């Protein structure tokens, strides 16, 4: 920059040396001022692939909503930390009655919403009633249906009486769908979210970005928020994401979309790549109610035809963790069950013959258009052909057509999708659910998880549940998506793993 200016000075000849010198001094002062400004950088631009559909996580499911607002704008009674553990938030403590039916929460005093409205037990009751009521459109309404009555003896005490023991309640209360909202502002939270969090909503330029700013009146004085401003920018195209990162238009892409482009960041001195875990379990679900998948041996044979390492290599550039059931290494009580029906072509063929298909079989997978689903299907197609199984690939549109055909109507043979909800073993116990998997023994284990609130006991039961799934193979358990983080090396405090879909900004700051 300096050189350019002095060159112009001497080249044009019209500018005297003094002027050129003056320009140089000005430029260097400007440059110094700029570097000082950089040292004190207190804003961040986070890139996201998908724009949220509204900003209220309590009325719609898309994870992007929580990834902007959860823990930033909105807070729940409990929360889930970086390690995936349940910790207190707006409820500072609680007691559970011995029968597991009464939860008494001690709420924090002095908490206010961004509009000055005080948070109290009445607010909490309003929020929970809204989530479980007749008019509720909460995407996780079923999790609140266990609540029988809500009592508010005083402003900081909330008592939940349950219909049956629900060991996962404290965990569910930490979810984005369970954040606290105020009666006055709840209706407009979709457009102008008002919460109790460390950041206030500023603006939403639809199609472009959401801006937040520090909440000066944040209740938690123990937390020192370093950022003054934060914006979330929405860039759908992976090439455009990479370009924005390299050009410095975006400081971080916590969930970069294209694993095949990760290598391209290696040469960039400014950026770091951080590969962590998510809760996104890629599974090829089968319709367990129809032939040939109603025979457990067929499902097991197909599982043994799958070399997960090849799948991960082909689908996601080798980034991802193989799983043997519907559970991730982030989750409590995880056991590695990839060996249960490990890759073995000969055994797979033999079992398929035993099930009555010595000459193989033919079926169709309904694969959504997303890259991971298409590529995984193609790898599976090749692997299955090794055991004489012909799999046709039919592309379906996600979410619209997939939700209608597969999820709602269960009109499919095999499908493939990444399940985003954390700790969702219970989907295999739901009736109806698209797997059409029915195993009373499995349901009984999950029931027992809810009957205890002892984490160690729960972890043990989760282990049992995983083993049943690994053995029954209601769907082909493939891999957990990695969290491909790419961000400026000077930016610290973002989560490396994602025990719950989120972009928590509380600890995010810049270092020199």
Partner 1 sequence: MITILTRRILSLIITLLAVSLLVFSIMNLLPGDPAAIMLGTSASPDTLAALQKQMGLDQPLPLRYLAWLSGMLQGDLGTSYTYSVPVAGLIVERLAVTLPLALMAVVLSVAIAVPLGVTAARYRNGPVDLIVGLFSYAGIAMPAFWVGLLLILLFSSSLGWMPAGGFPGWDAGIGAGLKALVLPAVSLALAQAGVLTRVARTSVIEVMNEDFVRTARAKGLGEGAALWRHAVPNALIPVVTMLGLQFTFLVAGAVLVENVFNLPGLGRLAYQALSQRDIIVMQNVVLFFAGLVIVMNFLVDLAYLVIDPRLRAKAQ
Chain contacts with partner 1 (rule: CB under 8 A): 51, 53-54, 59-62, 134-142, 190-191, 205-208, 233-237, 239-240, 243-244, 246-247, 249, 397, 399-401, 403-405, 407-408, 419-421, 424, 427
How near is the Cβ of 135 to partner 1 at its closest, in Å? 6
Taking the CA atoms of residue 180, residue 183, residue 188 and residue 192 in that order, the dihedral angle to the nearest 10 degrees is -50
Q: Find out whether 292 and 363 touch, Cβ atoms under 8 Å.
A: yes
How near is the Cβ of 416 to partner 1 at its closest, in Å? 14
How near is the Cβ of 86 to partner 1 at its closest, in Å? 19
Q: Where are the alpha helices (DSSP H) in 284-414?
A: 296-304, 308-316, 345-354, 371-385, 400-402
Nearer to partner 1, 485 or 501 (CB): 501
Nearer to partner 1, 27 or 420 (CB): 420
Beta-carbon-side half-sphere exposure of residue 180 (alpha carbons within 13 Å)? 26
Task: Show the tokens assigned to 335.
Answer: 């056991």
Q: Find out whether 422 and 483 touch, Cβ atoms under 8 Å.
A: no
The answer, yes or no, to whether the previous bond of 399 is cis (omega within 30 of 0) is: yes
How near is the Cβ of 60 to partner 1 at its closest, in Å? 5
Closest CA to 471 of 479, 460, 463: 463
CA 119 to centroid of chain Cα atoms: 27
Summary count for the chain: helices (H), strands (E): 14, 20
Instruction: Tell me phi and psi for residue 363, to 5 degrees.
Output: -155, 175
How near is the Cβ of 336 to partner 1 at its closest, in Å? 25
How near is the Cβ of 438 to partner 1 at its closest, in Å? 18
Beta-carbon contacts of residue 113 (< 8 Å; ≥ 6 apart): 119, 182, 185, 194, 195, 196
How near is the Cβ of 74 to partner 1 at its closest, in Å? 16
Nearer to partner 1, 60 or 504 (CB): 60
CA–CA distance, 82 with 16 (Å, rounded to integer): 60
Closest CA to 176 of 282, 288, 52: 52
Nearer to partner 1, 48 or 225 (CB): 48
Which DSSP helix (H) or strand (E) runs through 396? strand 390-396
Nearer to partner 1, 205 or 441 (CB): 205
Nearer to partner 1, 215 or 231 (CB): 231
Which DSSP helix (H) or strand (E) runs through 45? strand 43-48
Beta-carbon-side half-sphere exposure of residue 54 (alpha carbons within 13 Å)? 12
CA–CA distance, 348 with 293 (Å, rounded to integer): 15
β-pair partners for 286:
414
CA distances 26 to 32, 99, 217, Å, are: 10, 75, 40
Nearer to partner 1, 157 or 168 (CB): 168
Nearer to partner 1, 51 or 488 (CB): 51
Sign of the CA dihedral 488, 489, 491, 494? positive
Q: Find out whether 194 and 185 touch, Cβ atoms under 8 Å.
A: yes
Nearer to partner 1, 191 or 511 (CB): 191
How near is the Cβ of 410 to partner 1 at its closest, in Å? 13
Nearer to partner 1, 224 or 239 (CB): 239
Query: Coil, strand, or helix at residue 32?
Result: helix
Closest CA to 240 of 436, 48, 468: 48
Instruction: Tell me phi and psi for residue 506, to 5 degrees.
Output: -50, -45
How near is the Cβ of 207 to partner 1 at its closest, in Å? 3
Nearer to partner 1, 268 or 451 (CB): 268
Q: Find out whether 29 and 3 touch, Cβ atoms under 8 Å.
A: no
How near is the Cβ of 417 to partner 1 at its closest, in Å? 8
How near is the Cβ of 246 to partner 1 at its closest, in Å? 5
Nearer to partner 1, 138 or 377 (CB): 138
Nearer to partner 1, 192 or 453 (CB): 192
């Amino acid at each position: 920059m300096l050189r350019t200016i002095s060159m112009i000075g001497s080249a044009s000849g019209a500018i005297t040396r003094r002027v050129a010198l003056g320009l140089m001094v000005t430029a260097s002062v400007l440059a110094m001022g700029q570097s000082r400004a950089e040292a004190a950088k207190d804003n961040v631009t986070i890139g996201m692939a998908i724009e949220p559909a509204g900003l209220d996580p309590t009325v719609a499911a898309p994870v992007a909503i929580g990834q902007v607002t959860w823990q930033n704008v909105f807070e729940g009674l409990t929360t889930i930390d970086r390690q995936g553990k349940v910790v207190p938030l707006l409820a500072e403590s609680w007691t559970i009655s011995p029968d597991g039916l009464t939860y008494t929460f001690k709420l924090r005093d002095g908490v206010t919403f961004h509009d000055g409205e005080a948070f109290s037990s009445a607010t909490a009751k309003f929020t929970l009633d809204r989530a479980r009521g007749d008019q509720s459109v909460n995407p996780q309404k079923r999790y609140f249906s266990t609540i029988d009555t809500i009592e508010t003896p005083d402003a900081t005490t909330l008592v939940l009486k349950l219909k049956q023991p629900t060991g996962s309640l404290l965990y569910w209360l930490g979810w984005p769908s369970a954040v606290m909202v105020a009666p006055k502002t709840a209706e407009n939270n979709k457009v102008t979210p008002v919460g109790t969090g460390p950041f206030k909503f500023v603006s939403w330029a639809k199609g472009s970005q959401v801006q937040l700013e520090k909440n000066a009146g944040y209740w938690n004085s123990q937390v020192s928020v370093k950022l003054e401003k934060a914006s979330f920018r929405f860039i759908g195209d992976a090439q455009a994401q990479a370009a924005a990162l390299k050009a410095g238009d975006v400081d971080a892409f916590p969930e970069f979309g294209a694993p095949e482009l990760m290598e391209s960041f290696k040469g960039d001195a400014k950026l770091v790549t951080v590969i962590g875990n998510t809760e996104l379990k890629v599974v090829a679900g089968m319709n367990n109610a129809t032939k040939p998948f109603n025979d457990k041996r067929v499902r097991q044979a197909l599982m043994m035809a799958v070399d997960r390492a090849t799948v991960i290599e082909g689908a996601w550039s080798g980034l991802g963790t193989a799983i043997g059931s519907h559970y991730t290494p982030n989750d409590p009580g995880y056991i590695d069950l990839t060996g249960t029906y490990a890759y073995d072509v000969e055994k797979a063929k033999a079992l398929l013959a035993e099930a009555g298909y010595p000459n193989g079989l033919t079926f169709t997978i309904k694969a959504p258009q997303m890259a991971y689903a298409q590529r995984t299907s193609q790898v599976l197609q090749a692997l299955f052909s090794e055991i004489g199984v012909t799999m046709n690939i039919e592309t379906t549109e996600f979410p619209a057509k997939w939700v209608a055909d597969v999820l709602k109507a269960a009109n499919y043979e095999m499908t493939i999708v990444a399940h985003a909800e954390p700790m969702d073993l219970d989907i295999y116990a739901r009736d109806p659910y698209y797997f059409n998997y029915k195993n009373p023994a499995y349901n009984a284990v999950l029931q027992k998880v809810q009957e205890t609130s002892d984490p160690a006991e729960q972890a043990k039961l989760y282990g049992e549940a995983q083993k049943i799934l690994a053995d029954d193979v209601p769907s082909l358990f493939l891999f957990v998506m990695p969290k491909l983080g790419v961000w400026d090396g000077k930016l610290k405090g973002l989560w490396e793993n994602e025990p719950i879909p989120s972009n928590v900004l509380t600890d995010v700051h810049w270092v020199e």
